[in-house]
Structure 1
Protein backbone atom coordinates (compact mmCIF):
# COMPACT_ATOMS: atom_id res chain seq x y z
CA UNK A 1 0.00 0.00 0.00
CA UNK A 2 2.84 2.39 0.87
CA UNK A 3 4.61 1.54 -2.41
CA UNK A 4 1.40 2.24 -4.37
CA UNK A 5 0.98 5.62 -2.65
CA UNK A 6 4.59 6.50 -3.50
CA UNK A 7 4.02 5.60 -7.16
CA UNK A 8 1.02 7.91 -7.39
CA UNK A 9 2.83 10.75 -5.58
CA UNK A 10 5.83 10.39 -7.90
CA UNK A 11 3.53 10.38 -10.94
CA UNK A 12 1.77 13.56 -9.83
CA UNK A 13 5.10 15.31 -9.19
CA UNK A 14 6.41 14.13 -12.57
CA UNK A 15 3.46 15.51 -14.54
CA UNK A 16 3.46 18.76 -12.55
CA UNK A 17 7.14 19.29 -13.45
CA UNK A 18 6.39 18.45 -17.07
CA UNK A 19 3.57 21.02 -17.12
CA UNK A 20 5.83 23.70 -15.61
CA UNK A 21 8.50 23.09 -18.26
CA UNK A 22 5.92 23.28 -21.06
CA UNK A 23 4.65 26.58 -19.66
CA UNK A 24 8.22 27.93 -19.51
CA UNK A 25 8.86 26.84 -23.11
CA UNK A 26 5.63 28.44 -24.37
CA UNK A 27 6.34 31.61 -22.43
CA UNK A 28 9.85 31.77 -23.87
CA UNK A 29 8.45 31.40 -27.41
CA UNK A 30 5.99 34.22 -26.74
CA UNK A 31 8.73 36.51 -25.47
CA UNK A 32 10.93 35.51 -28.41
CA UNK A 33 8.23 36.63 -30.84
CA UNK A 34 8.05 39.95 -28.98
CA UNK A 35 11.84 40.17 -28.77
CA UNK A 36 11.52 40.66 -25.02
CA UNK A 37 14.18 39.64 -22.46
CA UNK A 38 16.06 37.50 -24.97
CA UNK A 39 19.69 36.56 -24.44
CA UNK A 40 22.24 35.04 -26.76
CA UNK A 41 21.64 31.68 -25.09
CA UNK A 42 17.86 31.71 -25.49
CA UNK A 43 17.94 29.33 -28.45
CA UNK A 44 20.05 26.84 -26.50
CA UNK A 45 17.70 27.14 -23.51
CA UNK A 46 14.72 26.52 -25.78
CA UNK A 47 16.42 23.50 -27.35
CA UNK A 48 17.29 22.09 -23.93
CA UNK A 49 13.75 22.55 -22.63
CA UNK A 50 12.33 20.89 -25.75
CA UNK A 51 14.68 17.93 -25.35
CA UNK A 52 13.79 17.54 -21.66
CA UNK A 53 10.06 17.64 -22.46
CA UNK A 54 10.47 14.98 -25.17
CA UNK A 55 12.33 12.74 -22.72
CA UNK A 56 9.65 13.33 -20.11
CA UNK A 57 6.96 12.35 -22.62
CA UNK A 58 8.78 9.07 -23.15
CA UNK A 59 8.96 8.70 -19.39
CA UNK A 60 5.20 9.34 -19.19
CA UNK A 61 4.58 6.32 -21.41
CA UNK A 62 6.65 4.16 -19.06
CA UNK A 63 4.83 5.53 -16.01
CA UNK A 64 1.44 4.87 -17.63
CA UNK A 65 2.47 1.25 -18.22
CA UNK A 66 3.63 0.90 -14.60
CA UNK A 67 0.30 2.26 -13.33
CA UNK A 68 -1.60 -0.09 -15.66
CA UNK A 69 0.34 -3.12 -14.41
CA UNK A 70 -0.13 -1.92 -10.84
CA UNK A 71 -3.90 -1.84 -11.38
CA UNK A 72 -3.89 -5.39 -12.77
CA UNK A 73 -1.80 -6.56 -9.82
CA UNK A 74 -4.25 -4.95 -7.39
CA UNK A 75 -7.17 -6.84 -8.98
CA UNK A 76 -5.23 -10.11 -8.82
CA UNK A 77 -4.43 -9.50 -5.14
CA UNK A 78 -8.11 -8.95 -4.35
CA UNK A 79 -9.03 -12.18 -6.11
CA UNK A 80 -6.24 -14.08 -4.34
CA UNK A 81 -7.39 -12.71 -0.97
CA UNK A 82 -10.92 -13.92 -1.72
CA UNK A 83 -9.67 -17.40 -2.57
CA UNK A 84 -7.42 -17.48 0.51
CA UNK A 85 -10.31 -16.59 2.81
CA UNK A 86 -12.35 -19.37 1.25
CA UNK A 87 -9.52 -21.86 1.82
CA UNK A 88 -9.34 -20.80 5.48
CA UNK A 89 -13.09 -21.32 5.84
CA UNK A 90 -12.96 -24.76 4.24
CA UNK A 91 -9.96 -25.76 6.35
CA UNK A 92 -11.80 -24.72 9.52
CA UNK A 93 -14.80 -26.83 8.47
CA UNK A 94 -12.62 -29.89 7.77
CA UNK A 95 -10.83 -29.52 11.11
CA UNK A 96 -14.13 -29.22 12.93
CA UNK A 97 -15.49 -32.43 11.40
CA UNK A 98 -12.20 -34.23 11.98
CA UNK A 99 -12.33 -33.21 15.65
CA UNK A 100 -15.98 -34.30 16.00
CA UNK A 101 -15.55 -37.61 14.18
CA UNK A 102 -14.37 -39.52 17.28
CA UNK A 103 -17.39 -38.35 19.26
CA UNK A 104 -19.76 -39.34 16.46
CA UNK A 105 -18.17 -42.78 16.16
CA UNK A 106 -18.56 -43.27 19.91
CA UNK A 107 -22.28 -42.49 19.70
CA UNK A 108 -22.71 -44.73 16.64
CA UNK A 109 -20.93 -47.63 18.37
CA UNK A 110 -23.10 -47.17 21.47
CA UNK A 111 -26.34 -47.21 19.48
CA UNK A 112 -25.15 -50.23 17.52
CA UNK A 113 -24.20 -52.18 20.65
CA UNK A 114 -27.65 -51.47 22.10
CA UNK A 115 -29.25 -52.51 18.80
CA UNK A 116 -31.14 -49.24 18.54
CA UNK A 117 -31.22 -49.39 14.76
CA UNK A 118 -33.91 -46.75 14.23
CA UNK A 119 -32.04 -44.20 16.35
CA UNK A 120 -28.78 -45.19 14.64
CA UNK A 121 -30.28 -44.64 11.18
CA UNK A 122 -31.66 -41.23 12.16
CA UNK A 123 -28.36 -40.22 13.73
CA UNK A 124 -26.35 -41.26 10.66
CA UNK A 125 -28.76 -39.48 8.34
CA UNK A 126 -28.50 -36.29 10.39
CA UNK A 127 -24.71 -36.49 10.46
CA UNK A 128 -24.44 -37.10 6.70
CA UNK A 129 -26.74 -34.15 5.99
CA UNK A 130 -24.52 -31.95 8.14
CA UNK A 131 -21.37 -33.10 6.34
CA UNK A 132 -22.95 -32.63 2.90
CA UNK A 133 -24.05 -29.12 3.80
CA UNK A 134 -20.61 -28.20 5.10
CA UNK A 135 -18.86 -29.56 2.02
CA UNK A 136 -21.16 -27.69 -0.35
CA UNK A 137 -19.86 -27.48 -3.89
CA UNK A 138 -21.02 -24.66 -6.14
CA UNK A 139 -20.49 -24.53 -9.88
CA UNK A 140 -21.53 -21.18 -11.31
CA UNK A 141 -18.85 -21.31 -14.00
CA UNK A 142 -16.84 -18.61 -12.22
CA UNK A 143 -14.44 -19.62 -9.43
CA UNK A 144 -14.57 -16.25 -7.67
CA UNK A 145 -18.38 -16.33 -7.56
CA UNK A 146 -18.33 -19.94 -6.32
CA UNK A 147 -16.09 -18.87 -3.45
CA UNK A 148 -18.32 -15.92 -2.56
CA UNK A 149 -21.58 -17.88 -2.64
CA UNK A 150 -20.09 -20.77 -0.66
CA UNK A 151 -18.85 -18.42 2.06
CA UNK A 152 -22.18 -16.57 2.24
CA UNK A 153 -24.15 -19.81 2.50
CA UNK A 154 -21.93 -20.93 5.37
CA UNK A 155 -22.54 -17.57 7.09
CA UNK A 156 -26.28 -18.02 6.55
CA UNK A 157 -26.25 -21.46 8.16
CA UNK A 158 -24.43 -20.12 11.20
CA UNK A 159 -27.29 -17.62 11.56
CA UNK A 160 -29.96 -20.31 11.06
CA UNK A 161 -30.94 -18.99 7.64
CA UNK A 162 -31.94 -21.45 4.93
CA UNK A 163 -30.61 -20.57 1.49
CA UNK A 164 -31.89 -22.15 -1.70
CA UNK A 165 -29.37 -21.73 -4.51
CA UNK A 166 -30.45 -22.39 -8.09
CA UNK A 167 -27.87 -22.21 -10.89
CA UNK A 168 -29.55 -23.04 -14.17
CA UNK A 169 -26.77 -21.86 -16.48
CA UNK A 170 -23.01 -21.39 -15.94
CA UNK A 171 -21.54 -17.92 -16.29
CA UNK A 172 -18.82 -16.86 -18.69
CA UNK A 173 -17.15 -13.69 -17.44
CA UNK A 174 -14.20 -11.64 -18.64
CA UNK A 175 -11.43 -11.23 -16.05
CA UNK A 176 -11.95 -7.45 -16.30
CA UNK A 177 -15.54 -7.77 -15.05
CA UNK A 178 -15.04 -10.34 -12.26
CA UNK A 179 -14.58 -7.86 -9.40
CA UNK A 180 -17.63 -5.82 -10.40
CA UNK A 181 -19.80 -8.94 -10.68
CA UNK A 182 -18.60 -10.25 -7.30
CA UNK A 183 -19.32 -6.82 -5.76
CA UNK A 184 -22.84 -6.76 -7.25
CA UNK A 185 -23.75 -10.24 -6.01
CA UNK A 186 -22.00 -9.73 -2.67
CA UNK A 187 -23.87 -6.49 -1.90
CA UNK A 188 -27.30 -7.95 -2.67
CA UNK A 189 -26.59 -11.17 -0.76
CA UNK A 190 -25.32 -9.24 2.27
CA UNK A 191 -28.49 -7.11 2.23
CA UNK A 192 -30.68 -10.22 2.11
CA UNK A 193 -28.88 -12.07 4.91
CA UNK A 194 -28.80 -9.00 7.13
CA UNK A 195 -32.49 -8.29 6.53
CA UNK A 196 -33.78 -11.71 7.63
CA UNK A 197 -31.83 -11.65 10.90
CA UNK A 198 -34.74 -9.82 12.52
CA UNK A 199 -37.11 -12.70 11.70
CA UNK A 200 -37.70 -15.83 13.73
CA UNK A 201 -35.31 -18.67 12.77
CA UNK A 202 -38.19 -20.61 11.18
CA UNK A 203 -38.87 -17.66 8.85
CA UNK A 204 -35.28 -16.98 7.82
CA UNK A 205 -35.00 -18.04 4.23
CA UNK A 206 -33.57 -16.73 0.98
CA UNK A 207 -33.58 -17.88 -2.63
CA UNK A 208 -30.78 -17.01 -5.05
CA UNK A 209 -30.91 -17.98 -8.71
CA UNK A 210 -28.70 -17.51 -11.75
CA UNK A 211 -29.80 -18.13 -15.32
CA UNK A 212 -29.39 -16.70 -18.79
CA UNK A 213 -31.49 -16.01 -21.84
CA UNK A 214 -30.25 -15.27 -25.38
CA UNK A 215 -29.43 -11.68 -24.39
CA UNK A 216 -28.84 -11.36 -20.63
CA UNK A 217 -27.54 -13.04 -17.52
CA UNK A 218 -30.33 -12.85 -14.94
CA UNK A 219 -29.65 -12.86 -11.19
CA UNK A 220 -32.59 -13.07 -8.77
CA UNK A 221 -32.37 -12.76 -4.99
CA UNK A 222 -35.48 -13.00 -2.80
CA UNK A 223 -36.27 -13.04 0.91
CA UNK A 224 -39.39 -12.31 3.02
CA UNK A 225 -40.56 -8.69 2.76
CA UNK A 226 -39.94 -6.81 6.00
CA UNK A 227 -41.36 -3.37 5.17
CA UNK A 228 -44.86 -2.86 6.50
CA UNK A 229 -45.71 -0.09 4.04
CA UNK A 230 -45.41 0.03 0.27
CA UNK A 231 -42.34 1.91 -0.90
CA UNK A 232 -41.65 3.38 -4.32
CA UNK A 233 -39.09 1.26 -6.18
CA UNK A 234 -36.75 4.21 -6.74
CA UNK A 235 -36.49 4.80 -2.99
CA UNK A 236 -34.75 1.48 -2.48
CA UNK A 237 -31.76 2.77 -4.44
CA UNK A 238 -31.38 6.02 -2.51
CA UNK A 239 -28.20 6.19 -0.42
CA UNK A 240 -29.02 5.62 3.23
CA UNK A 241 -32.34 3.89 2.52
CA UNK A 242 -32.40 0.24 3.49
CA UNK A 243 -34.66 -2.75 3.94
CA UNK A 244 -32.57 -3.72 6.95
CA UNK A 245 -32.66 -0.56 9.01
CA UNK A 246 -32.28 3.18 8.77
CA UNK A 247 -29.06 4.40 7.21
CA UNK A 248 -27.97 0.95 6.09
CA UNK A 249 -29.15 0.89 2.48
CA UNK A 250 -25.93 1.78 0.70
CA UNK A 251 -25.60 -1.77 -0.70
CA UNK A 252 -28.41 -1.43 -3.25
CA UNK A 253 -27.29 2.07 -4.23
CA UNK A 254 -23.79 0.77 -4.98
CA UNK A 255 -25.22 -2.27 -6.75
CA UNK A 256 -27.32 -0.05 -9.04
CA UNK A 257 -24.26 2.00 -10.04
CA UNK A 258 -22.17 -1.11 -10.75
CA UNK A 259 -24.99 -2.72 -12.74
CA UNK A 260 -25.54 0.38 -14.86
CA UNK A 261 -21.78 0.55 -15.43
CA UNK A 262 -22.18 -2.69 -17.40
CA UNK A 263 -25.34 -1.37 -19.12
CA UNK A 264 -27.48 -3.69 -17.02
CA UNK A 265 -30.76 -3.10 -15.19
CA UNK A 266 -31.85 -3.70 -11.60
CA UNK A 267 -35.42 -3.69 -10.33
CA UNK A 268 -37.32 -4.55 -7.17
CA UNK A 269 -40.44 -6.73 -6.93
CA UNK A 270 -42.29 -6.64 -3.59
CA UNK A 271 -45.32 -8.72 -4.57
CA UNK A 272 -46.40 -11.97 -2.87
CA UNK A 273 -44.80 -10.95 0.44
CA UNK A 274 -41.29 -11.27 -0.99
CA UNK A 275 -38.55 -8.70 -1.49
CA UNK A 276 -37.00 -9.71 -4.79
CA UNK A 277 -34.02 -8.07 -6.48
CA UNK A 278 -33.77 -8.84 -10.21
CA UNK A 279 -30.56 -7.94 -12.02
CA UNK A 280 -30.11 -8.32 -15.77
CA UNK A 281 -26.67 -7.81 -17.32
CA UNK A 282 -26.07 -8.11 -21.08
CA UNK A 283 -24.10 -11.26 -21.82
CA UNK A 284 -21.76 -9.50 -24.22
CA UNK A 285 -20.82 -7.02 -21.48
CA UNK A 286 -19.81 -9.78 -19.05
CA UNK A 287 -18.21 -12.12 -21.53
CA UNK A 288 -15.96 -9.59 -23.32
Structure 2
Protein backbone atom coordinates (compact mmCIF):
# COMPACT_ATOMS: atom_id res chain seq x y z
CA UNK A 1 0.00 0.00 0.00
CA UNK A 2 2.80 2.38 0.93
CA UNK A 3 4.64 1.54 -2.31
CA UNK A 4 1.48 2.28 -4.29
CA UNK A 5 1.05 5.62 -2.51
CA UNK A 6 4.67 6.53 -3.32
CA UNK A 7 4.08 5.64 -6.97
CA UNK A 8 0.97 7.82 -7.09
CA UNK A 9 2.88 10.74 -5.53
CA UNK A 10 5.72 10.32 -8.03
CA UNK A 11 3.30 10.26 -10.96
CA UNK A 12 1.52 13.35 -9.63
CA UNK A 13 4.86 15.16 -9.30
CA UNK A 14 5.83 14.09 -12.82
CA UNK A 15 2.57 15.50 -14.21
CA UNK A 16 3.05 18.71 -12.21
CA UNK A 17 6.54 19.19 -13.63
CA UNK A 18 5.31 18.54 -17.17
CA UNK A 19 2.54 21.09 -16.70
CA UNK A 20 5.06 23.64 -15.42
CA UNK A 21 7.25 23.13 -18.47
CA UNK A 22 4.25 23.61 -20.76
CA UNK A 23 3.34 26.82 -18.88
CA UNK A 24 6.89 28.09 -19.31
CA UNK A 25 6.82 27.40 -23.05
CA UNK A 26 3.45 29.10 -23.45
CA UNK A 27 4.65 32.10 -21.45
CA UNK A 28 7.73 32.39 -23.66
CA UNK A 29 5.57 32.34 -26.80
CA UNK A 30 3.21 34.92 -25.35
CA UNK A 31 6.07 37.20 -24.33
CA UNK A 32 7.78 36.95 -27.72
CA UNK A 33 5.36 39.38 -29.40
CA UNK A 34 5.79 41.88 -26.56
CA UNK A 35 9.56 41.61 -26.86
CA UNK A 36 9.41 42.24 -30.62
CA UNK A 37 7.22 45.29 -30.07
CA UNK A 38 9.62 46.65 -27.45
CA UNK A 39 12.66 46.19 -29.69
CA UNK A 40 10.80 47.73 -32.65
CA UNK A 41 9.95 50.76 -30.51
CA UNK A 42 13.59 51.20 -29.43
CA UNK A 43 14.79 50.97 -33.03
CA UNK A 44 12.17 53.50 -34.13
CA UNK A 45 13.56 55.91 -31.53
CA UNK A 46 17.12 55.21 -32.62
CA UNK A 47 18.08 53.61 -29.32
CA UNK A 48 20.30 50.94 -30.84
CA UNK A 49 22.33 50.17 -27.71
CA UNK A 50 19.18 49.75 -25.62
CA UNK A 51 17.75 47.40 -28.23
CA UNK A 52 21.01 45.44 -28.26
CA UNK A 53 21.01 45.01 -24.46
CA UNK A 54 17.33 44.10 -24.43
CA UNK A 55 17.79 41.44 -27.10
CA UNK A 56 20.78 39.98 -25.25
CA UNK A 57 18.63 39.48 -22.15
CA UNK A 58 15.67 38.04 -24.06
CA UNK A 59 17.77 35.62 -26.10
CA UNK A 60 19.42 34.49 -22.85
CA UNK A 61 16.02 33.51 -21.45
CA UNK A 62 15.09 31.68 -24.65
CA UNK A 63 18.45 29.89 -24.72
CA UNK A 64 17.95 28.54 -21.20
CA UNK A 65 14.49 27.21 -22.08
CA UNK A 66 15.82 25.64 -25.29
CA UNK A 67 18.73 24.04 -23.44
CA UNK A 68 16.52 22.48 -20.76
CA UNK A 69 14.17 21.01 -23.37
CA UNK A 70 17.05 18.69 -24.38
CA UNK A 71 16.63 16.81 -21.10
CA UNK A 72 14.52 13.64 -21.09
CA UNK A 73 13.49 14.26 -17.47
CA UNK A 74 10.86 17.01 -17.11
CA UNK A 75 11.52 17.05 -13.35
CA UNK A 76 15.16 18.01 -13.86
CA UNK A 77 14.33 20.45 -16.66
CA UNK A 78 11.76 22.18 -14.44
CA UNK A 79 14.25 22.51 -11.58
CA UNK A 80 16.91 24.06 -13.83
CA UNK A 81 14.35 26.53 -15.19
CA UNK A 82 13.30 27.45 -11.64
CA UNK A 83 16.90 28.00 -10.51
CA UNK A 84 17.64 30.08 -13.63
CA UNK A 85 14.63 32.28 -12.84
CA UNK A 86 15.75 32.58 -9.21
CA UNK A 87 19.25 33.59 -10.31
CA UNK A 88 17.79 36.25 -12.60
CA UNK A 89 15.67 37.64 -9.74
CA UNK A 90 18.88 37.99 -7.71
CA UNK A 91 20.78 39.67 -10.57
CA UNK A 92 23.07 36.66 -10.96
CA UNK A 93 24.23 35.70 -14.46
CA UNK A 94 23.40 32.05 -15.15
CA UNK A 95 25.58 30.14 -17.61
CA UNK A 96 24.09 26.90 -18.86
CA UNK A 97 25.57 24.25 -21.13
CA UNK A 98 23.65 21.00 -21.65
CA UNK A 99 25.37 18.43 -23.87
CA UNK A 100 23.44 15.37 -22.67
CA UNK A 101 19.77 14.39 -22.48
CA UNK A 102 20.30 12.20 -19.36
CA UNK A 103 18.37 9.42 -21.12
CA UNK A 104 20.22 6.65 -19.22
CA UNK A 105 19.99 8.29 -15.83
CA UNK A 106 20.30 5.66 -13.08
CA UNK A 107 19.47 8.16 -10.32
CA UNK A 108 15.83 8.98 -9.69
CA UNK A 109 15.04 12.52 -10.89
CA UNK A 110 14.04 13.42 -7.32
CA UNK A 111 17.52 12.58 -6.07
CA UNK A 112 19.30 14.29 -8.96
CA UNK A 113 17.25 17.39 -8.16
CA UNK A 114 18.43 17.22 -4.55
CA UNK A 115 22.00 17.22 -5.85
CA UNK A 116 21.45 20.03 -8.34
CA UNK A 117 19.28 22.08 -5.99
CA UNK A 118 21.88 22.07 -3.22
CA UNK A 119 24.81 22.84 -5.52
CA UNK A 120 23.00 25.66 -7.36
CA UNK A 121 21.66 27.21 -4.13
CA UNK A 122 25.14 27.14 -2.60
CA UNK A 123 26.60 28.69 -5.75
CA UNK A 124 24.08 31.54 -5.58
CA UNK A 125 24.82 32.06 -1.88
CA UNK A 126 28.55 32.21 -2.67
CA UNK A 127 28.14 35.17 -5.07
CA UNK A 128 25.34 36.99 -3.23
CA UNK A 129 27.63 39.59 -1.64
CA UNK A 130 29.58 40.42 -4.79
CA UNK A 131 28.90 43.47 -6.95
CA UNK A 132 26.12 42.71 -9.44
CA UNK A 133 28.49 42.70 -12.41
CA UNK A 134 30.62 40.00 -10.73
CA UNK A 135 27.83 37.54 -9.85
CA UNK A 136 28.05 34.49 -12.05
CA UNK A 137 27.19 30.80 -11.74
CA UNK A 138 27.45 28.07 -14.35
CA UNK A 139 25.87 24.65 -14.76
CA UNK A 140 27.21 22.11 -17.25
CA UNK A 141 25.70 18.70 -17.97
CA UNK A 142 27.89 16.44 -20.11
CA UNK A 143 28.51 12.74 -20.61
CA UNK A 144 31.12 10.25 -21.72
CA UNK A 145 30.67 6.61 -22.67
CA UNK A 146 29.90 5.42 -19.14
CA UNK A 147 29.12 8.48 -17.01
CA UNK A 148 27.18 11.68 -16.71
CA UNK A 149 29.35 14.61 -15.64
CA UNK A 150 27.65 17.55 -13.92
CA UNK A 151 29.57 20.63 -12.82
CA UNK A 152 28.41 23.71 -10.95
CA UNK A 153 30.77 26.66 -10.69
CA UNK A 154 30.59 30.17 -9.28
CA UNK A 155 32.58 33.38 -9.30
CA UNK A 156 32.57 33.78 -5.51
CA UNK A 157 35.53 33.73 -3.14
CA UNK A 158 37.50 30.51 -3.31
CA UNK A 159 37.29 27.76 -0.68
CA UNK A 160 40.33 27.47 1.58
CA UNK A 161 42.38 24.33 0.97
CA UNK A 162 41.99 23.18 4.58
CA UNK A 163 38.18 23.23 4.16
CA UNK A 164 38.03 21.22 0.92
CA UNK A 165 37.06 18.00 2.72
CA UNK A 166 35.33 19.53 5.75
CA UNK A 167 32.61 21.11 3.64
CA UNK A 168 31.22 17.61 3.01
CA UNK A 169 30.95 16.76 6.71
CA UNK A 170 27.43 16.58 8.25
CA UNK A 171 26.53 19.78 10.04
CA UNK A 172 29.44 21.76 8.62
CA UNK A 173 28.64 25.34 7.65
CA UNK A 174 30.78 28.30 6.77
CA UNK A 175 28.28 30.52 8.62
CA UNK A 176 27.74 33.59 6.43
CA UNK A 177 28.81 31.86 3.22
CA UNK A 178 26.64 28.75 3.79
CA UNK A 179 28.59 26.80 1.20
CA UNK A 180 28.68 23.67 3.38
CA UNK A 181 24.89 23.53 3.62
CA UNK A 182 23.54 20.30 2.16
CA UNK A 183 26.86 19.07 0.78
CA UNK A 184 26.92 16.06 3.13
CA UNK A 185 23.55 15.01 1.67
CA UNK A 186 24.82 15.59 -1.86
CA UNK A 187 27.87 13.38 -1.33
CA UNK A 188 25.75 10.68 0.32
CA UNK A 189 23.35 10.53 -2.65
CA UNK A 190 26.21 10.56 -5.15
CA UNK A 191 28.07 7.75 -3.38
CA UNK A 192 24.90 5.66 -2.96
CA UNK A 193 24.63 5.60 -6.76
CA UNK A 194 28.26 4.68 -7.35
CA UNK A 195 29.30 8.20 -8.27
CA UNK A 196 31.93 10.67 -7.16
CA UNK A 197 31.98 14.35 -6.22
CA UNK A 198 35.01 16.61 -6.13
CA UNK A 199 35.63 20.31 -5.66
CA UNK A 200 38.33 22.58 -7.03
CA UNK A 201 38.94 26.21 -6.15
CA UNK A 202 39.50 28.93 -7.27
CA UNK A 203 37.30 29.30 -9.21
CA UNK A 204 35.01 27.10 -7.15
CA UNK A 205 33.68 24.20 -9.23
CA UNK A 206 31.84 21.15 -7.89
CA UNK A 207 31.97 18.19 -10.29
CA UNK A 208 29.66 15.21 -9.91
CA UNK A 209 30.22 11.99 -11.88
CA UNK A 210 27.33 9.51 -12.02
CA UNK A 211 27.45 6.17 -13.88
CA UNK A 212 24.84 5.60 -16.55
CA UNK A 213 22.23 2.88 -16.12
CA UNK A 214 23.81 -0.44 -17.09
CA UNK A 215 27.35 0.96 -17.12
CA UNK A 216 28.39 -1.13 -14.12
CA UNK A 217 27.23 -4.35 -15.78
CA UNK A 218 29.14 -3.70 -19.02
Q: Write 1 or 2 for the structure with the bigger share of helix.
A: 1
Other-structure match for 1:131:
58
Higher alpha-carbon deviation: 245-254 or 66-75: 245-254
Q: 1:95 offset after TM fit, Å?
A: 6.0
Equivalent residue for 1:143, pick from 74, 82, 90: 74
Distance in structure 2 (CA, Å) of the matches to 1:182 and 1:245: 24
Equivalent residue for 1:281, pick from 189, 207, 210: 210
CA 1:218–1:247: 2 relative to 1, 3 Å: closer
CA contact (8 A) 2:122 2:181 kept: no
Other-structure match for 1:73:
8
CA 1:170–1:84: 2 relative to 1, 3 Å: closer
* Aligned residue runs from structure 1 range 106-125, under 5 A: 106-109=41-44, 111=45, 116=46, 119-120=47-48, 122-125=49-52
CA contact (8 A) 2:155 2:204 kept: yes
Q: Per-residue CA shift, 1:70-120, capped at 9, x if unaligned?
A: 1111112223333444555566666666667666554444x2xxxx4xx34
Aligned residue for 1:239, secondary structure, equals: coil
Other-structure match for 1:9:
none
Gaps of 5+ in 2: none
Q: Which has the higher contact order (CA 8 A, sep 6+)?
A: 2
CA 1:198–1:86: 2 relative to 1, 3 Å: farther
Aligned residue for 2:125, secondary structure, equals: helix
CA 1:198–1:239: 2 relative to 1, 3 Å: farther
Q: CA RMSD in A?
A: 3.1
Q: Which has the larger radius of gyration?
A: 1
Aligned residue for 1:171, secondary structure, equals: coil
Distance in structure 1 (CA, Å) of the matches to 2:126 and 2:22: 27
CA 1:203–1:255: 2 relative to 1, 3 Å: same
Distance in structure 1 (CA, Å) of the matches to 2:177 and 2:105: 36
